[in-house]
Amino acid sequence: MATALGLARRGLGAVAPNPAVGCVLVCEDPGVVVGRGWTQPGGRPHAETEALRRAGNAARGAVAYVTLEPCDHHGETPPCSEALIDAGIAAAVIAVEDPDPRVSGSGVARLRDAGIPVTTGVGADEAWDLNAGFFLTVSQGRPLFTLKAATTLDGRIATRGGDSQWITGPEARAFAHRLRAEHDAVLVGIGTALADDPDLTCRLPGMAGRSPIRIVLDGRLRLPVDSRLVTTARETPTWLVTVPGNDPAVVDAFRSHGVEVLETEADDGGRPDLAAAARALAARGLTRVLVEGGGQVAGSVLAAGLADRVAWFRAPRLIGGDGVAAAAVFGVETLADAPGFVRTGLAMLGADTLETYRREE
């Protein structure tokens, strides 16, 4: 199952709205892997189909280890449950049930009805964690949000003069590009887009094709049409999340550059309401969104209770209280109101560190 989870991970950021699934077919005597598969870019073929295709006749009598209950619906492809039965597998080991209402238990039931013994729950914690984005879209109609910050020791993202390039070193920046690849979209506020004119692509060697959709929260459509995000929108999609009431000619100008403009409700300050934006993004098929700044957006994500994961890069430098805070004011009165997190990882990246967290339940 650990191998299957590793294979599943390859799909993160490339398979939405589908989950990233892994499948390993093992012939138990003499104990050899006869097929491996993972959900392919775009979400299909499914992991089981891929593993079965590679195993061919060797799948007969094998044990299938799958990180998610095999699907049981006739969608774009025939159900994986049927494919596994037809291939003659001897047993199945499944990490977690698929909460998709078209599946939710029927994949396991179909295997059992065919006389195939099924074990569930193996590697369940890791499997829940891996597809947390997919599970959130099914259960709450919103994607998973990972808040990323690159700060000084004292949590500052820029000096008072606005100097922010580069706080962290090349190792941390490379890791941040990998994070982009593992998410369906990267989201920034208009302040960051104006200040940095960023690309927000994944520029790791060999991973250029893994760039996420670039999303800017831009209530008044201030993004310049000659910005990199707009001029490259036909190669790497750019979406603007805005509020109703903008000049239709401006909206059309963005659309003529291949930029998607999504209108959503405004919050009290006239900015796109984050909870509403989250629902709109899930409705468009996103399951994993990386929030890359700046402080304003980070504050809004925290205030809306949407920071599911945190990736905090920290450089050995101090700026002091007049620097720009990683998360702008978000109105915490008492410690009990302050969002809490559980540390899930700690790594040294060159001179910097990376701390990862998940939301405290």
Residue of 52, 64, 71, 297 interacting with Zn ion (CB under 5 A): 71
Is 46 among the residues that bind Zn ion (CB under 5 A)?
A: yes
Which residue's entry shows tokens 């927000």?
A: 200
Q: Which of residues 26-45 bind ligand AOF (CB under 6 A)?
A: 39, 43-44
Q: Is the omega angle on the peptide bond into residue 166 within 30 degrees of 0, that is, cis?
A: yes
Strand partners, 342: 358
Minimum CB–partner distance for residue 103 and ligand AOF (Å): 5
Minimum CB–partner distance for residue 306 and ligand AOF (Å): 22
Residue of 80, 87, 176, 304 interacting with Zn ion (CB under 5 A): 80
Minimum CB–partner distance for residue 95 and ligand AOF (Å): 12
82 part of the active site: no
Instruction: Give the residue from 126, 137, 152 showing the smallest Cα distance to 65.
Output: 126
Rounded-to-integer distance, Cα 115 and Cα 196, Å: 60
Q: What per-residue string of b and e applies to 87-106 under the rule 16 or more CB within 10 Å gives b?
A: bebebbbbbbbbbbeebeeb
Minimum CB–partner distance for residue 60 and ligand AOF (Å): 20
Q: Which of residues 56-115 bind ligand AOF (CB under 6 A)?
A: 68, 70-71, 75-77, 80, 98, 100, 103
Which is catalytic among the residues 28, 48, 355, 360?
Answer: 48
Compare residues 75 and 88 and give the one whose CB is closer to ligand AOF: 75
* C-alpha pair distances (Å), 115 with each of 1, 102, 111, 136, 352: 22, 22, 7, 33, 54
Name the binder of 75 from Zn ion, ligand AOF, none, CB < 5-8 A by kind. ligand AOF
Q: Where does this chain touch Zn ion (CB under 5 A) — which range of 79-87, 173-181, 278-286, 301-309?
A: 79-87
CA angle 307, 315, 190 (to 5 degrees): 50
